[in-house]
Each structure stands twice: as C-alpha cells, then as structure tokens.
C-alpha cells in the first residue's frame, strides 16, 4: 500500500483526501517511480474543480510534473534500471504506433492518457507507474525537485516558441502571466532565443525577479485592466511579433490588441472555463496567426533537462511542501500568489 491524495468528485480543496491505495506494479512497458517531487500546476486546479472534463476519469490522483527514482522496471523496458533518476513528460500512456507517435509528436496521440487526469495515475502519491516512453533520465547535475517541473513549465514553452511559433532572434515577445509557473520560464526561453521580452503581470512584487530572469520590460497593471496601450508604447506603436499566452480568456482582448501585423499568438494556458466572443476580422486584417501548443514530447523534455544542466534555464520553485499541505498549495496557486512553482514531496 501507499499514501496518496485521491479526488473522488470535483470540488473545492476539501475533495483532496489522503487515502491508502494499492502501490502500483510495473506492467511490461512501465516503470514504477518512487516520487521525489511533484509540481502543482494550474491544470491540477481545473481538473480538481471540474472545469476540465475532457480526458478526466475519477477517482483520480492528481499530478503530472513528476521526478523520482526508478523502483521497478517492466519486462519489456530496456533503457531504465532500478535506481535511475528520472522525470516524466505529462502523459503516462501513448500508443507508440500512430502517425503522431511515429513522427515525434506524441503529444497529439489520439490514445494519449494524461498523468493525473485519467484515474489513479498521478504524482500526488508515494509511487506512480508510467510507461517508459514518457520518461527521461535526469542528469546528475540537475536537482530532482527542479527536474520535476521541467517538462511542463519549460518543455511546453519550448514546444510553443521553437516548434510552433518559430520565435526568431530580434523579434519582440510578450509573455502573459509572466510571474506564474509557465511565465517565469517563458521569459527565460524567449530571451535565450534572442527576443526582446515584454513580461505582463498583475503582481508588482514579481517585477524585479522578471527583470532578473531576462525581461527587457515589465508591464504591471491592475487585474482586469487593459495593458495593450503600454505594450504598444514600448514597441513604438507596432505591437509584438509573438504573444506567449499563458492566461487565456481573462486577458484575451488586451493580448489581441498587443499583437502587431503578421504576429503569432501562441495559446498555451487557459485559467477559466469561460468563452470569449471576437470578430475574426480583428485577426485576419492584421494577418495574425492564432496557434497553440500542448504539453511536451520526450525529446523536448530531454532538450530542456540539458538546458537546465548547462545553466541556460533555471527552474523556479518557490517552495517545497509535504503531501498533506496540497490543499494549501492549491489555494496559493489559485490566487496567483506563487512565483514559479510549488512542489509536493510525497515521501518526506
């Protein structure tokens, strides 16, 4: 048996209940990981509260940002051994045979199952079983707690700006929600790509760190306030070439107005279940491309772990908490009171 936080119905933080559940056993293509750390992502919030419904199967154990050591290896696994330090991509299953899996785009596999959404498969527990196709070795120089958040907070951004948005040196990038888990790493990666970075935040306390991480400009504004005029001022009226949008609906209109002619809008995060009306002419008259990126391939995870090993990107963790403080962690994340990530330590 093992300790885990189980969600049996959607709701507020009180649905996170500590239970004794069966310790997973490795199927032929799986490894069992003793969880060292599991990041707390806003995705966990919208899964827990019922906003996210697609691909969710309850009861479930939340958590898709996982690092740890290999406890058991399935009979068909060849590239991992007991004791290896590992981190996961955000899925526990892909088919490995479809056109997406065969071309390195397994994030789009129609048979994919997301860690922490589909049943008792997440990292809010002492152990987790994950198919080996969704796991990467962690370099010795990389701290395991930091490794836990690499796939989601760094890999998703790498996917967005390298594979989807093709951010180029000399371009200007707007990073929305820049103080959050995705945002603080988007600032670093956009700067590493050679862009001029404008960071948007509603938290004045986060401005100094964002500048330290590479933001050339920081736009601080009140929640609900239209920040597009300030972005246009900073760009000489042109608007930005790329918007790395980690927030979605709550700032849809100011983000749209901040994008220049021929710009690319990279949709990554969506913090609410709300819809937003807009006139498509507002995009095509400026030749704005609306694009999206979802999660991280294993190759992108390996690339990001190497960037961390080199010191090119720094994973930002505000605090590490024991598993029984998960409700507090959710409340902090939901309020936007966290810079970077919180991680849970199930085996403390």
At 193, which CATH number? 3.90.180.10
Same-domain status, 140 and 197: no
Compute the distance between CA of residue 215 and CA of residue 210 in angstroms, rounded to an integer: 6
| 141, 218: one domain | no
Q: Which two tokens stand for residue 281?
A: 């002419």
- Overall domain count for the chain: 2
Last residue of a domain, one of 292, 309, 332: 292
| Cα three-residue angle 145-149-153, rounded to 5 degrees | 155
Task: Assess whether pLDDT exceeds 90 at residue 318.
Answer: yes
Tell whether 108 and 145 lie within a shared domain: yes
Question: Higher confidence at residue 270 or residue 137?
Answer: 137
Q: Is 176 inside a domain boundary?
A: yes
158 lies in a domain?
no
The pLDDT confidence band at residue 14, using thresholds 50, 70 and 90, is very high
Domain limits at 262?
Answer: 166-292
Average pLDDT, the chain: 96
Whether 242 is in a domain gets the answer: yes
Residue where one domain finishes, among candidates 292, 308, 324: 292
| CB-count exposure of residue 327 (10 Å: 0-12, 13-18, 19+) | middle
- What's the pTM value of the predicted model, to 2 decimals? 0.95
- 135 and 11, same structural domain? yes
pLDDT tens digit sequence for 234-280: 999 999 999 999 999 999 999 999 999 999 999 998 888 889 998 99
| Judgement on whether residues 288 and 300 belong to the same structural domain of the protein | no
Rounded to whole angstroms, the Cα distance separating 175 from 97 reads: 35
Q: Tell whether 139 is covered by a domain.
A: yes
Could you tell me if residue 128 is inside a domain? yes
The per-residue pLDDT for range 58-106, each reduced to its tens digit, is 999 999 999 999 999 999 999 999 999 999 999 999 999 999 999 999 9
Of 249, 274, 292, the residue at which a domain comes to its end is 292
Asked whether residue 231 falls in the same domain as residue 327, the answer is no
136 pLDDT band, cuts 50/70/90, is very high
Q: Do both 35 and 70 map to the same domain? A: yes
Q: Both 114 and 182 in a single domain?
A: no
Q: Is residue 160 part of a domain?
A: no
Residue 161 lies in a domain: no
On whether both 133 and 21 belong to a single domain, the answer is: yes
- What is the number of other CB atoms lying within 10 angstroms of the CB of residue 8? 11
Q: Is residue 106 part of a domain?
A: yes
Q: What is the mean pLDDT of residues 124-133?
A: 97
Q: Which contacts of 5-9 are long-range, i.e. CB under 8 A and separated by 24 or more positions?
A: 5/61, 5/62, 5/124, 5/125, 5/323, 5/326, 6/59, 6/60, 6/61, 6/120, 7/47, 7/48, 7/58, 7/59, 7/60, 7/61, 7/62, 8/58, 8/59, 9/58
Q: Residues 136, 213: one domain?
A: no
Residues 273, 217 share a domain: yes
Helix (H) or strand (E) holding 242: strand 240-245
Whether residues 201 and 317 fall in one domain: no
The alpha-carbon radius of gyration of the chain (Å, integer) is 20
Closest CA to 199 of 170, 230, 225: 230
């Amino acid at each position: 048996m093992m300790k885990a936080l189980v969600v049996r119905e959607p709701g507020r933080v009180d649905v996170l209940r500590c239970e004794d559940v069966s310790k997973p056993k490795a199927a032929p293509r799986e490894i069992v990981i003793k969880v060292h750390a599991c990041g707390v992502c806003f995705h966990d919030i919208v899964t827990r509260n019922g906003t996210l419904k697609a691909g969710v199967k309850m009861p479930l154990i939340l958590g898709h940002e996982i690092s740890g050591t290999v406890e058991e290896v399935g009979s068909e696994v060849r590239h991992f051994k007991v004791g290896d330090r590992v981190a996961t991509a955000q899925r526990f299953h892909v088919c490995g045979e479809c056109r997406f899996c065969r071309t390195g785009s397994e994030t789009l596999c129609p048979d994919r199952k997301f860690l922490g959404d589909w049943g008792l498969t997440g990292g809010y527990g002492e152990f987790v079983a994950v198919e080996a196709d969704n796991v990467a070795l962690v370099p010795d120089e990389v701290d395991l707690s930091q490794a836990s958040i690499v796939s989601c907070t760094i890999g998703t951004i790498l996917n967005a700006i390298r594979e989807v948005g093709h951010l180029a040196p000399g371009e200007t990038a707007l990073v929305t929600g820049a103080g959050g888990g995705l945002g603080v790493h988007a600032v670093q990666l956009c700067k590493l790509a050679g862009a001029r970075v404008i960071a948007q935040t509603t938290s004045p306390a986060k401005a100094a760190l964002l500048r330290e991480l590479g933001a050339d400009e920081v736009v601080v504004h009140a929640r609900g306030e239209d920040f597009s005029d300030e972005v246009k001022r900073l760009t000489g009226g042109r608007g930005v070439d790329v918007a790395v949008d980690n927030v979605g609906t709550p700032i849809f209109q100011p983000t749209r107005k901040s994008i220049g002619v021929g710009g690319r809008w990279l949709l990554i995060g969506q913090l609410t279940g709300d819809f937003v009306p807009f006139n498509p002419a507002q995009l095509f008259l400026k030749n704005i491309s609306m694009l999206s990126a979802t999660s991280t391939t294993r190759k992108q995870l390996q690339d990001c772990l190497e960037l961390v090993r080199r010191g090119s990107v720094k994973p930002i963790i505000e605090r590490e908490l024991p598993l029984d403080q998960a409700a507090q962690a959710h409340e902090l994340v939901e309020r936007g009171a966290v810079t970077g990530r919180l991680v849970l330590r199930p085996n403390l």
